[in-house]
Structure 1
Amino acid sequence: MISIHCTLVGFRHHAWRGTQLEERLARAIGQEVVLMRDRENHRNPEAAIACIDSEVVAYVNNDDCHRIAAYLDATEYGLLYGVITAADAHSCRCHAEMEVDKEIYIEPLMSDGRYDEWDEAWSHIPIARLGDDELRQDMLQRHVLAQLSHHTAASDNLCRDIERYMQGMRYDLSGEASQTRRTIADRLLASGDEQLAEYGRRMDVAITEMGNNEVCADIAHHITRRLAQSAGVADALRHIGGIDRHEMEQALKAMPHGLHDEYRLSVADFVSRAYYLQIPRRILRRFVSAELLLDRLVHADAADGANEEIRLAAIEYISRANPYITPGWLSRADALWSDIIEQYALRLTRLNGAKDTRFNARFVCQVMGRLIDLGIYDDAVSQAEYGRRMALNGRDMRSSINRALIDDEETRRAIGMMVERYR
């Protein structure tokens, strides 16, 4: 016999909900629990419920479902019997331990055939490349797993890497990431080292919170703000070929489970749905890329005529600083700005309350601050007449050019790379 473990959540939604919930959870340790597949759950096809005293009291946490479903399917009657070994009344979750005859092979998370068909049909939609944050997170999870394979005691380096991994682990909604989170948490809990086990307990709490409203809203903000403005999406837009907005909409509406409609109604609700569906990473990335590209195409169609006027107004605004271009850049500054305006056209047209401008003058000031740092303009530009003429909301340009104001490091780096191409 071997023991397997899982986390039970959702007590607020079932038979124990109400004023006595915390008291019941406090008495739960040692009680027998029975697990069974929830075949009627349309959000998660591998969902499982937990019963105590013949009442449905909770469900198995999403990141445990794939593994527990495999053991349930291997039993004669589709039931697992276990006991509650730990309970946290504050976060309303319990740990359950079940004994099974033998360990079974857990198949890797397989793609729903409908996802594969969609991915094949729309393979010509470009996938936005990973930004530095996503690549760093991928490296961290692999590195933590590698260290835990060889070390069962805490070290400064391992603890630092676990902390960094946990900071960003929520932003990967894929099925593969769900399995990796569970694997890392289980290895930490089983390490025998109290410091690592504490990290495992913290990960358990974070995993059980993945589907709640606050976390979903944070991930939605990450998609619609950071990813939407990333250099990867801009690069994908340049390689979109002959796809127009109507073809993109057709592709997205063909995505299984009505995910396109859910995304358009509420990105946060889409995040919750996608997390429970455990969609393979490649397909999820193509879908999200397509949604972000559709936003760009819709915006371009709606503002095609106005964009040229905005572009010309921005160029005139920028040209006021020409007397302050450093000597080595006199012949190259216009071409550099043309590239910047083309790549960040969507951000340039997003107004921000600046007076007497039809475009995002604040973003222009942010870029100007970056170009001052890189030696394209003399720093005196911000204190001269140009700086006063570019005042935003009554402030001079010095207060407008906060050189840390560019929203993300990826944009700062992308502009730096453009400058390098012209050196």
Structure 2
Amino acid sequence: MNARAMRGLVLPLAGLLAAGIAWAEYRGLRSVDPQQPAQSLAAVQANVPWGGLAGRQLAASLEPHWRRDPPAVDEALAWHLRHYPLDPWRWADRARLARLQDADPDAVLAHLDAALAAQPHNRELLWRAATITQQLGRVERTEEHLRDWLAGQPAGTHRALFVAMRWIDDPAQLLDRILPPGDPYLEAAIAAARQHGRLDLAAEAWERLSRPRPPGDRALLDFVDLALAQGDHERAAWAWAETFPDYRYGMVPNADFRHEPASPRGLHWRIRVPAGARVVLDPEHYFTEPASLRLDFDGTENLRLTAPSVRIPVPAGVERWTVSGHWRAEGLTTRALPYLSAWADGGRRTRVDAPGSEFDWQPFRVELDTPEGGRMLHLQLRRDPPARDFDRYLAGRLWLDALRVEPAPLQTMDSDEP
């Protein structure tokens, strides 16, 4: 037979071979029944001895039926992996199955190593490896897998720390052994610590974080909010003063309005007001430089106001505090004028009414009793909307500035707010 004739037979023979393979694969796929792993494996081995799609389909479909016949499932997985040794998911399946059968831990780890050798940076595989090694009590391996799982993914920090907290309590050890280096991981660790009420963990992460932080930084706000919630006002004030050098513990935050309020959290002023009102810093009208806080009312709404407001952490051991400042008004309408409300945690509110609808800078002063253990004062601008007054829509402007707090001599209190 000459060469030309031989070449003419190649394509038909190749077609026949392909058709035979396809037919074998079809028969193999038809024989796959995950509920009968032993019979399915025998049928696949008979129809598709090279493994093929049928072998892969069988191996991938067995997980829901592991407990039905574990030895048969393991045999099917092992047969598939002899043909496709770089299939990481089936190696991971063998590791999980071996773990469920209480196999030798070294055999389980060998399966995991094979899976990660095929895809060393796959996050789902790394998480499975971390879960299985933790179940085996091989926490050193778990920590290694968690660090690899976190690489380039600081958003997973909370999840990884939550797992590792089960055997690592010391905050420094927790950060050293689980987190990759970098501020994003520390920021996420502070957020996680806040959710778990772990001030010790947040403080350790804060010490490692680059500082000072920007005014609206989430890590700053998380750390300060957690410290305040845990009653560690000194630590919260110290952290706040790093970002705002004009602030000191026992002062009104942003007392002279040098800074734009960047968030309603931390020790920022809360300035969210309803439609019909606006809060801005005013660098042109102030009692003390560089600006005042101005509220504009457009006269279209019957406003209920509970802001602006601010929290004022103060040291313990003082029975009474004086909160003072200056305010100014221009063209306020309605008889239901805004007023100031001040109180200490656990104490009663004290009300300071506006002198009128229009007045130049005037001082106000209020004295607050501090119940035992109370170390937080509050100052809030309020307005209660009238129900029937004809002139209930509030217009005009109001300014606040030069706010101060200091220990007060014991004397008669101002009238309480009803």
More strand by percentage: 2
TM-score by length of 2: 0.23
More helix by percentage: 1
Q: Relative contact order, CA 8 A, sep 6+: which one is greater? A: 1
CA radius of gyration, larger in: 2
TM-score by length of 1: 0.23
